[in-house]
Chain A
Amino acid sequence: DGGITQSPKYLFRKEGQNVTLSCEQNLNHDAMYWYRQDPGQGLRLIYYSQIVNDFQKGDIAEGYSVSREKKESFPLTVTSAQKNPTAFYLCASGRGGYTFGSGTRLTVV
């Protein structure tokens, strides 16, 4: 079955530590996206990529970085520069109606 796989489901980060969230898709979609979701709020765009080796900042890119070396993969790194990283992170792919992964819940400990 085609879909998007995010891992891990839960992630704990210590202060000053970088962590990387994985996102893999087998839908053959060119476009991939990372969103952040905070409780009671909508989805905010962090980064997006339309093709391999190219990506663009979204509305809240500060403290995050991405890479797109393969069409299937779009990992997100939450750096120590992100002061409030505790959130639910969602990866999506597609062009009109996106397909979302099941998310990674990141908590700072």
Chain B
Amino acid sequence: QQQVKQSPQSLIVQKGGISIINCAYENTAFDYFPWYQQFPGKGPALLIAIRPDVSEKKEGRFTISFNKSAKQFSLHIMDSQPGDSATYFCAASRITGSARQLTFGSGTQLTVLP
């Protein structure tokens, strides 16, 4: 119930295309769903996040779609650029006791071809 399943493991997209990464969770106690972007040799950086009372959130070229009934959420990158090439992690957060913990997906390595 703690797992967050992420797919695909790797993704290759042409410049200008749409990149789509999917995640699914089981534990309905999760109440915050962030996405992180990580470049090689760097720490992950928060990209965009959503709460389950919202079905979609858009920030620039990045959109999260959230389906609460299916317990699935996805990241869409519109007009993908070579600079978007990175590893993307979805995550799900919940409070356990007095702590808030993040559970991460296994990551998607995105390559955007010029």
B-binding residues in A (CB < 8 A): 4, 6, 31, 33, 40-43, 45, 48, 50, 56, 90, 92, 95-103, 105
Contacts and interface: CB of A to CB of B under 8 A. Distances in A.
A103 B107 contact: no
A31 B96 CA distance: 13
Contacts of A101: 43
Contact of B32 (A56, A96, A99): A96
Q: How large is the interface on B (under 10, 10 to 19, 20 to 34, 35 or more residues)?
A: 20 to 34
Contact of B107 (A4, A41, A98): A41
A76 B93 CA distance: 23
A95 B107 contact: no
Contacts of B41: 102-103, 105
Interface of A is mostly: strand
Contacts of A33: 102
A48 B36 CA distance: 19
Contacts of B98: 50
A56 B107 contact: no
A4 to B, nearest CB: 8
A47 to B, nearest CB: 12
B101 to A, nearest CB: 7
A97 B89 contact: no
B52 interface: no
A20 B70 CA distance: 43
B104 A96 contact: no
Nearest to B32: A96
B44 A100 contact: yes
Given A41-B106, A101-B43, A103-B41, A96 B93 contact: yes
Nearest to B43: A100
Given A43-B89, A96-B49, A102 B107 contact: no
Given A41-B107, A42-B107, A103-B41, A97 B46 contact: yes
A49 to B, nearest CB: 9
B34 A96 contact: yes
